[in-house]
Each structure stands twice: as C-alpha cells, then as structure tokens.
Amino acid sequence: MLLVSENARQGDPAQEQFSISELSQEFDVTTRAIRFYEDEGLLEPHRQGRQRVYSSRDRVRLKLILRGKRLGFSLSEIGDIIDMYDSEPGEVGQLQYFIEKISVRRKTLKQQRNDIEVTLKELDGIEKQCRKSMTHLDQP
Amino acid sequence: MLLVSENARQGDPAQEQFSISELSQEFDVTTRAIRFYEDEGLLEPHRQGRQRVYSSRDRVRLKLILRGKRLGFSLSEIGDIIDMYDSEPGEVGQLQYFIEKISVRRKTLKQQRNDIEVTLKELDGIEKQCRKSMTHLDQP
DNA sequence: ATTTCCGTTTACGTAAACGTCAATTAAAGC
DNA sequence: GCTTTAATTGACGTTTACGTAAACGGAAAT
C-alpha cells in the first residue's frame, strides 16, 4: 500500500481530480453556482455514477469563469471567451472570426482599464481631501 | 436679442441644463434607464412643472453611473461610490469610514486591473496561435 | 383644430444568476 | 443495520436592471 496524501486521486498532476465541494471551498463559490455553470454549458465534469468529478481542466475553466465575473461579463459572454481558449478551430473562417472577437474583447478590456485608472486617481483625490479635513478637525 | 446656440439654457457654463433626451442621446442610454436611476436615488433632477431638468452636476453623476456599470458594479454599489464623491461629511468618524471604503474600492479595482492585464496577455497568446494556424492552412 | 412630438406616470413583464427548500440517493462511520 | 453526511435533482422564489405598453399632458407645427 502506498502512502498518498489525503486521497488517491493524484499522481500525474495533469490528472488531478476534484469534488464539487473542494472547488466550492477553494474558490469560495457555492455548489449551486458551480452546477448552474454546468447547466449553462460552461462546465462538463465527468461522472462517477451520479457524482461530478472535475479535472484540472475543469478547474481552470472555473477559474476563468470567476475572473470573467469579476470583470463584469455575463455568463454567456464568459462562455464565448472560454471557448476561445480551448477550442481547436479547423477552418480559416473560424480563425478570422476568432481574431475579430479577440479584438472586440480587447477593446472592452482597455476601456475598463482606462475607467479603472481614472477612478483610482479620483479616489486619491478624495482621500487627500478627507485627510485634509480630518487634520483640520483634529487641530481647530 | 442675444445670439445663443440652440437653446437659452447656457451662459454660466456651470449652470447648463439638459433634457432627459439630450442626456439619453449623449450617453446612449434609454430615458427609461435614466428615470430608473432616479427611482433608485442615484439622480434627482429639478423639475419645471413635471419635466425633469438636469444640471451639469446631474450629468456628471450620470457619467459616473455609467462608468460604474462598465466596471461591473451594481447600482447600489454605484450609489455608495457616487455619494463618496460629492458628500460633505462633517464628522471625523464619517471620514474614517470613508477612507476605509475607499481602500476597499481600491482593492477591488486593482484586482480588476490585474485580471485585465492577465487576460490581455492571454489574448495575445491566443491570437498568435490563431495567426500561426492560419498561415499553416494557407500554405499546406 | 388636430396631428405630432416629447415627456410623464403606472403597471406589468423579463432575463440573468443564483438562493432556498424538499425529496432522493449514495457513501461512510459506528 | 442504522444513522450521519455529502451530493444530486427539481421546482419555485428572488433580486437587479431595465423593456414595453398604455394612457395622459403640454407645446409646437401645419
């Protein structure tokens, strides 16, 4: 009998397996949400009987989903994005279409990045005003 | 009679006035949305009789609302943010609270900015792969 | 005068993204 | 064997952010 840590689902690191609750805890999302992402076609884990078994590829996809959410994209947009990541397109037309999509996505992201820079600077200004007001109130 | 451009609501640039449809067109949002933001307490334009009249301050607030939306914030979050911009807090406690809020907001924004950088780089990689595949398909 | 355009109000509808609850099933521990 | 415990499925509920339609009010153009 070999000594393995915690469970026997390791070995080839590319073949790690995860339960829904493990992923739920690691990424701090509810299992309900994870199943919902599956309903929406964003994940399709294997099954051992009825139980879902997630591969490390599934885990990466979940990571991408959550990052997309933090950036304010809808699940269907996220679906499009993820499909860009790991699909193996055969035709040139597909690739052209891909590149256009990438360009659109890039524009949105740059807009967001700009919005963030502006907002961060404004926050600096507001904070300075706050601190100024506070010292005034401290020493009247 | 003076020559004024378009309408007589100009002069002191800080006292410009706007109709709901002007703002709707300028920022490409529906009037319904603008009224909704008012229902949610994010805007409170003056009235001439029953009609809404927006000041340049209202216009700025609308701008902030839309920027917040692009960054994926909910309207209530946006409300909090905007209130930070133009409220005149009196007490030190308020200011402390403010600064904490600013710090939280800053963290979120920096997380988003990081997400964006990562995503942009990944897009670069995907696009390169695409272009590579295309040339391969071009010259078999 | 009446059509035409805004604008307003009220109300109902809806899509997205889950939350919540109930009923099962399966696996694990004692 | 029995009881927790974890996971599944299904159904319904909820919140957010508006869309859409109806019905009315005033002002302007013809």
Say how far A48 CA is from D11 C1', in Å.
25
Q: How many CB atoms lie within 10 A of CB A19?
A: 17
Please state the separation of Cα B55 from the chain's center in Å: 16
pLDDT (average), residues A85-114: 82
Strand C atom within 7 Å of A50 CB: yes
Closest CA in chain B for residue A87: B126
From chain A, the residues in CB contact with B67 under 8 A are 115, 118-119
Looking at every residue in chain A, the average pLDDT score rounds to: 84
pLDDT (average), residues A117-128: 91
User: What integer pLDDT is reported at residue A139 of this predicted model?
Assistant: 65
Give yes or no for residue A87 having a pLDDT over 70.
Answer: yes
A116/A96: higher pLDDT: A116
What CATH topology corresponds to B10-87?
Multidrug-efflux Transporter Regulator; Chain: A; Domain 2 (1.10.1660)
Say how far A120 CA is from D18 C1', in Å.
28
A49-86: pLDDT as tens digits:
889 999 999 999 999 999 999 988 999 999 988 888 87
Give yes or no for residue A40 having a pLDDT over 60.
Answer: yes
Q: How many CB atoms lie within 10 A of CB A108?
A: 15
Distance from CA of B128 to the nearest CA of A (A): 9
Interacting residues of A24 by C-beta distance below 8 A, sequence separation 6+:
A30, A31, A34
Nearest-CB residue to B72 (from A71, A111, A122): A71
The DSSP-derived string for A60-95 is HHHHHHHHHHHTT--HHHHHHHHHHHH----SHHHH
Nearest-CB residue to B71 (from A84, A102, A112): A112
User: What integer pLDDT is reported at residue A117 of this predicted model?
Assistant: 95
pLDDT (average), residues A21-31: 93
pLDDT category at B138 given cuts 50, 70, 90 is low
User: What integer pLDDT is reported at residue B14 of this predicted model?
Assistant: 65
Q: Are B80 and B68 in contact (CB under 8 A)?
A: no
Interacting residues of B122 by C-beta distance below 8 A, sequence separation 6+:
A85
User: What integer pLDDT is reported at residue A140 of this predicted model?
Assistant: 57
What CATH topology corresponds to A13-87?
Multidrug-efflux Transporter Regulator; Chain: A; Domain 2 (1.10.1660)
B82-111: pLDDT as tens digits:
988 877 766 677 788 888 888 989 999 999
B17-30: pLDDT as tens digits:
999 999 999 999 99
Q: Are B78 and A119 in contact (CB under 8 A)?
A: no
User: What integer pLDDT is reported at residue B89 of this predicted model?
Assistant: 65
Phi, psi for residue B18 in degrees, rounded to 5: -135, 145
Give start and end residues of each alpha helix (H) in chain A. Answer: 20-27, 31-39, 56-70, 75-86, 92-138
The DSSP-derived string for B8-54 is S--SSGGG-EE-HHHHHHHHT--HHHHHHHHHTTS---EEETTEEEE
pLDDT more than 70, % of chain B: 84
Calpha distance A37→A134 (Å, rounded): 47
Q: Do A99 and B67 touch (CB under 8 A)?
A: no
* Chain A contact for B104 (CB, 8 A cutoff): no
Give yes or no for residue B6 having a pLDDT over 50.
Answer: no
Strand C atom within 7 Å of A64 CB: no
B15/B121: higher pLDDT: B121
**Ramachandran quadrant class, A60 (left: phi over 0; alpha: psi -120 to 50; beta: rest):** alpha
Residue with tokens 């990052």: A67
B59-81: pLDDT as tens digits:
999 999 999 999 999 999 999 88
Cβ contacts, strand D, under 7 angstroms: A 19-21, 31, 35, 50-52; B 30, 32-33, 36, 40, 49, 69, 74-76
